[in-house]
A and B are shown apart, each in its own frame.
Chain A
Amino acid sequence: MTDFTILPPSFVVVSLGLFGVVLWLFVRRRYKRMWFPIVRVLTHSRQKLPRLTFRQPPLVSFLCYLMAGLAFVVFTLRPKIKLFTPFEPNQTRVHIFVDMSPSMSANVTIFQLKQRVADLWKALQGSARITMSTTHGDAIYDLTSAEQVGALLQGLDFHRAGARLGSTLKGHLAQTGELDRLFIVSDRDQHSWSGFQWEFLSQDSEIFHVDVEVPDFSRRTNIFISSAYYTSPPQSLTMDWEVEITQAGMPQDANGTLKVLFKGAPITSVPWHLTKARSRTVVNVAWPVTKTPANQADQLLWQLDLAQPDAIVLDNEFRTRLFGAKSDINIVAAPSGEQFLDDPVYQLTMTLGVLGFSPHRIDDATLTKNRWAPGGANRLDILVGGTGVGIERFCPISLETERLAAKSPDSVNRTRTKRSKVWLIPGMLDVDFQELCVCYHRLILSETVGQGVPDYCSDVHGRNHWVSFLKSVGAKQVGGDVSDTTGALAMVGSDSGGAYEVLAFTVPLRPALQIGLTHGHFPTMVKELLKWQGLLADDKAFNGWPRIDDLTRELPSMVTQQGMPTSQILSQGNIPIGESMMSTIPPASLPPRWSQAGEINPKQIAARQDQSDPLPWVRNLAGILMAAMLIEFVLRAYHTFRSGAHR
C-alpha cells in the first residue's frame, strides 16, 4: 500500500502564487527600449479573411436543402445496366435506313443491295412495325412485303449526289417519331458518316450498322474526273479545257480515253495515262468554237473510258457548263460617218465582243432582210434608230408581222415563254423619237399589220414625251429615280403572248458626258443589263455544274439557285469528291454491326430511355426548392415579427 499525503491548501496556494510570479517575470522580461520614430508609419499585418464560424442552420430548411442535394445526386446517376422489355410487334418500331450514295456502288450492285435489305426485312418481319427510308429524300416507306422493298430500291437506284447520313436521318426521324431499333444499311464511307453523332440517337433506341463493305475494298481503285476548267480567253476561237483525272484507293497504272460529248454527240476524245506513282493527271482538251454553237445554258459531258476495272462507275461522267459560247447579236444601226467616232454603236459593239458575244452589224435592215432572221428565244437584237434614215431601215415591218403571227391563236410558237429581247436605242441625244415610238408600236402594241403612224406617236417629239409615252403604255422603268420617270435609263415593255421583250432606251447607249456615262462604267452597265435580262451567265449562279455534298440539305437551295428541276440535278449532278475518294472510317467508330446470326434476342428489346425521363425529377426538385424558400421566408418573417413584438 502506498500512503498518499494530502498537501495542505496553503501549500497549493503558495505554489500557484510562485508559479504566477515566475510566469509574470517571464512575461514582463524587460527589453532594452529605444525610440525609433519611423515605426509610426508601419502597420500591423492583420488577418485578411474573417475567421470561419459555424452556426447551426434552421432545421427545416436544412432538411429541404439536403433533400434537394440528394435529388441532384440521384438525377446525375444513370442506369448502368440496360433494362430489356418484351418485344411487342404492335408497339415496337423498327426503321431501316438505306444509304444509296455513290460510294455504295463500289461495294454492292443495286441487285445485291436490294437482296440484302429484303433479307433484313424478312428477318424482322412480324416482330415489329417496319418502316424504311433512303438517302434519296424525306419519304418514309411503310412496306408490306420483301418484294416491295426490292422493287423500291431498284426503282430508286444509286443517286449521284452525296449524302450525309446524320442530316438525312434527322429529317427522317422527325417524321417517324421515336424508334426502338434503327438499322443503317451503309458502307463505311467517311464522307457519308462524317458529322453523324449516332451515339446521341443510341440513348433512345438501338442502332445497328448493316455493313455492306466488301472484304477486298481496300485493294480497289477508283478513277474519276475531279475537275474541268475552261481556260480560253474571251476572244479565242477555240474551246480550251483542263481536265483533272484522279485516282483514289489502291494506286495503279491506268490509261484510257477522255471523251467530250455535246448534246449527245461526241466532239473530241483525248487519251490519258496515269502512273502508279501519281494520284492525278491533267489532260488538255481543245476544239473549235464552231463545234459547240450554243448558248451558255448548254452543258458538256465528259466521259472517262477505262481499260482497267473501276470501283465507282458513276463518277466517270462529269458535266460542266458550256463556257465561252459566242451568242449572236444583231445590231441594226445606220452609220453616220467613216470614223469609228461617228459610229453610234462602236463602243456597244466592242463591249458585247469583250463580254463573249458575236455582234453582227447590219447597216440597213431592208437590204439584209433575207439574211437577217430576227427573234428567237433568248436572242438579242439591237435596233438603233431615230436618226432620220427611215423606220424601215432599222425596224422593218417584218418584225411586226412575225410578232403578230406568233401571237395568233393557231401559232405553234404561242406557248413559248422565253421572248426574244430587243433593245430599242436612240442613235443620238436629240433624235426623232416619233420613229422610235412607231417601232415600239410595231414590236409591242399593234393589233394588225401596217397601221402606219398611230395617233399617240404623232405627239412624241422629245425625250420627255418619249418617256411619258412609254410609261403611259405600261412599260416599267429601268434605272434612275423611282419618283422621277424622266431620269430613267430605259423602259421595258412586253405584251402578253408576244414575241418580244423590248427595252426602250431613253438615251443613246454610248459613253457620253451629257448623260453621265463614262467609258469605264459603260461596259459594266451593259454587262449588268445583259445579266439582268438573262442573256449573260451570272457569275455566282452559273459558275459550275451542281455538285451536291449533302443531298437533303443542299438540294432545295440548288434548285432555287440553278433553276434546274430536281430530277435533272439528281440524275446529272456531279459526284462529290468525298464520295469518290474511297476513304473509310474504322468500324470502332460505327454503331454495332448487325449480324442476322447475332446474339441479340429478337424477342426482347432495350427499354427506351424515356422511362428515365429527367423531367419528373426536375419538377420534383423545383418543388422542393420552392418549398424550402417558402418555409425559410415564413420562419424569418415569424422571427422578425416576434423580435419586433419583444421590443
Chain B
Amino acid sequence: MDATTLATLDPRDARDFIFKLYKNSPRFSGSLRSPLRQPSRSPESSRQYRPGDPVNLIDWRAFARTDELIIRQQQNQAANHLLLVLDCRSSMIWPSSEVKVDGGAHPHSQCSKLEAAVRLYFTLATAALMSGDQVSAWVIAEEALPNAVFTLRNINECRTFFDHIQGYHFDRSRILDLVHPQTFDSVRCDIGIWLSDFINGPACDPFFRSVRRPLGIHLLSSLETDITWLQPMTSYFDPIPEMTEYLGIELQETMSYAAQLAAWQNRLRQQFERHDGHYLLCTEMSSFKQITDWLQGLLV
C-alpha cells in the first residue's frame, strides 16, 4: 500500500488505512475522539504530564517507579460526520490529452487532477464508512458552492460508483450524471474535506461554517508543480476570466513561478488555518500513505 499513489489509488486500499485506526481505538464506533477523558491503565494511551492536567489521570505507580509524572487517559470514540467535496470544474480536467511531456513518455501525463481527486474521494469515503462514520459526498459542478451529492450509504455503493466512473475513464459528464442536485445549506459536519485544485477560487464560506474542522487537500498535477517540461516558445494560456497567456520561457525564467506558487499555497493554508483547519498539497504522484499519515495526525 505504501507505494500506492493517487494516480493508481483504489477505494479497496482504504482497508489498510482503517485497520491502522482500529489498532489504536478502544472502541470501533467511529473515528471521532470524544472530548471526555477517563483514567486508563493502557500504556499506549500515556503521555507526559502537562501543567493543568487532572491529577486523577496521573499514574502514581509509574511515578513511584520512574519518578516521572505520566498521564494515562483514554478517550472514547464516536461516529463522525464526514463531509467530502469534490471539485469537478473544468480546471480539474487537466492535463488534457493534448499535453505531451517528452513525447508522451511521462508516466502520469494522462492522469488528470479530476481522476486523482475521484480516486481519493471514494477511498476516503470508503474508509469513513468502514469505520462507522457518516459520509456526505458533495460535488461542485460549475458554481462556487457544492450543488450535487452522491448517495453513499455503504462501502458497496462507493465501489459501484467508482467502478462506473473508472469505466468511463473518469469522464466529467459521467460523474455529473451520477449525482443528485441539492442545495448546500444547513449541513453540519465534524470534518469536511475539500478536494480541489483551488484554481477557480478558494473554499467557500458556507463550507467553513458547516464543518467543525475543515481540511483542504490541494490537488495539483505534478506538471503544474514542476514546469521544467514546458516548451520555451510555446504559449500557455487560460481564457478564464480573461485571456492570460505566457510563453514557456517566460514562465520558467521571468515569472518567478515557484515563488508565486508557494505564495498561493501559503494564502490557501492561511485561509484554512483561520478557520481552525488544515491544508495539504498533493499531486497525482503523492503516495496515499502521505495523506493517511496527515489525516491520522489530525484525527488522533
Contact = CB atoms under 8 A, between A and B. Distances in A.
Interface of A: 31-43, 45
- Dominant SS among interface residues on chain B: mixed
Contacts of A32: 231, 233-235
A569 to B, nearest CB: 63
A45 B237 CA distance: 17
Contacts of B197: 37-38
A45 B240 contact: no
A28 to B, nearest CB: 12
B238 A39 contact: yes
A311 B69 CA distance: 76
A37 to B, nearest CB: 4
B237 A33 contact: yes
A33 B234 contact: yes
A39 B246 contact: yes
Interface stretch (B121-129, B147-155, B161-169, B249-257): B249-257
Interface stretch (B26-34, B93-101, B269-277, B284-292): B93-101
A534 to B, nearest CB: 58
Contacts of B224: 38
A40 B200 CA distance: 8
A362 B90 CA distance: 115
A40 B238 contact: yes
Interface in B211-265: 220, 224, 231, 233-241, 244-247, 251, 254-257, 260-261, 264
B91 interface: yes
B264 to A, nearest CB: 5
A45 B255 CA distance: 7
A37 B238 contact: yes
A45 B256 contact: yes
A40 B199 CA distance: 7
B223 to A, nearest CB: 9
A32 B230 CA distance: 12
B244 A34 contact: no
13 contacts: A31-B234, A33-B236, A34-B236, A34-B237, A35-B94, A35-B238, A36-B236, A37-B238, A38-B220, A38-B224, A40-B91, A40-B244, A42-B246
Contacts of B257: 42
A32 B235 CA distance: 6
B260 A43 contact: yes
B199 A37 contact: yes
Given A34-B235, A36-B237, A42 B96 contact: no
Contact of A41 (B94, B199, B236): B199
A43 B259 CA distance: 11
Interface string B164-206: 0000000000000000000000000000000001010000000
A162 B31 CA distance: 88
B34 to A, nearest CB: 40
Interface string B73-96: 000000000000000001100101
B264 A41 contact: yes
B234 A39 contact: no
A41 B240 CA distance: 10
Contacts of A40: 91, 199, 238, 240-241, 244
Contacts of A37: 90-91, 94, 197, 199, 238, 240
A37 B93 CA distance: 10
A39 B236 contact: yes
Given A34-B98, A43-B260, 16 more contacts: A31-B234, A32-B234, A33-B235, A33-B245, A34-B234, A34-B235, A34-B237, A35-B96, A37-B90, A37-B197, A38-B197, A39-B244, A39-B246, A41-B260, A41-B264, A42-B257
Given A33-B237, A34-B234, A36-B238, A42 B255 contact: yes
Contacts of B239: 35
A42 B262 CA distance: 11
Nearest to A37: B91
